Structures are given as C-alpha cells and as structure tokens.
Amino acid sequence: MRQNILKVTCPNPNCSVELKPKCLHTVLPREVVVRWESARCESSIAGENKTYCPFKDCSVLLVNDGGEVVTSAECPSCHRLFCAQCKVSWHGGLTCEDFQKSKGKTHEKEFDNMFLKLAEEKNWQKCPKCSMFVQRSGGCEHISCRCGCHFCYGCGEKWMYGHVCNKR
C-alpha cells in the first residue's frame, strides 16, 4: 500500500494469481482492505475525470461524469463550494482568469470580505448553530440546515412550533 502497488500476486513463485482485497479480508485489517479497494477503484478512473476537493482538510475524490460544464460545485463530503474549472475555493463574481490574476495581489481576508458583501447583497441567512450561510431558493421561511438545526430564514432565530418571524 505504501508503495502504491495495487496489483498483488500470490507470494508462491510458481503462481501468478492476482490477489484481491475481498479474498484477504479475513487476514488483513479492515482499514487496509478499505484503503486497497479504494485505491484500486480510484486507479480505474481516467485521470481527466478525477478531481479532488480543493480544501486541505477534505480532499475527497470527485468524479466528472461527463455531463454539462460545471462552474461552481459543492463537495458532497465537506459541503463547501469550489470552482470546478480551476479547482480552488469558490470565487463568485470573478472569472477564473481574473481570480488567477488576482492571486497574490488579493489576500484571503479580501476574498472573505467580498463573500460577506455578496451574502449581504443576496440577503443570505446564517445558521444559528453552525454559522454556515444559507441561500433560500424558494418555499417557506422554515430552513433545515445540513447540521440539523431548524431556523427561520427571515429573522435567523431557531425554529419552534408556532414561530412568528420578528422581521415582518
């Protein structure tokens, strides 16, 4: 595994049978079998179809299934937005080219400020539990955040049965 060798053959010099992870699950630790199977699966995906979540604390493998061209994408694991074209955190309001030109000139704090300004312009609400911004695309004021918190999109207060929004 450490040497990234995915094809393992029988140790008997007279045998060339390839060993599969599922055949060795009784003698190998579960974590090794899972890593081995994941590595074998990942190696079967063409390089141009692979991308990884750009956030260092996530880096989950994402597969481009060849559908329509995607610009912004949400990682299914960490749920953060990123640019599917240039593989960096989402830079809404800037083209990939403009973002790349501004790298080094613009600091993360400036991008954070740009995002906060966009959130304010779009009236996005923050979840009172996890503080993630939420954009409502339709429906009622009752929001169910991915963290499990229920809150009012209008006033940001936790949702209780019979809630009356205090913003109206």
Residue 4 has pLDDT above 70, yes or no: no
pLDDT score for 70? 64
Give the side-chain half-sphere CA count within 13 A for 74: 4
pLDDT score for 71? 73
Residue 168 has pLDDT above 80, yes or no: no
Residue 48 has pLDDT above 80, yes or no: no
Average pLDDT, the chain: 78
Q: How far lies 24's CA from each of 2, 31, 42, 91, 127, in Å? A: 17, 12, 19, 45, 46
Average pLDDT over residues 113-130: 85
Quote the pTM value: 0.42
* CB neighbours of residue 70 within 10 Å: 10
CA distance 137 to 15: 60
Query: What ranges do the domains of the chain cover?
Result: 8-43, 47-124, 125-168
CA distance 86 to 97: 9
Sheet with 72-74, edge to edge strand ranges: 72-74, 81-83, 88-89
Partners of 61 in the β-ladder: 52
Question: CA torsion, points 74, 76, 77, 80, in degrees to nearest 10?
Answer: 10
pLDDT score for 138? 79
Residue 10 has pLDDT above 80, yes or no: yes
CA distance 40 to 48: 17
- Tell me if 89 sits within 8 A of 108, measured CB to CB: no
Residue 76 has pLDDT above 60, yes or no: yes
Q: Which of 153, 98, 150, 147 is nearest to 123 (CA)?
A: 153
Q: DSSP E strands: which ranges in the chain?
A: 8-9, 18-19, 50-52, 61-63, 72-74, 81-83, 88-89, 125-126, 133-134, 142-144, 150-152
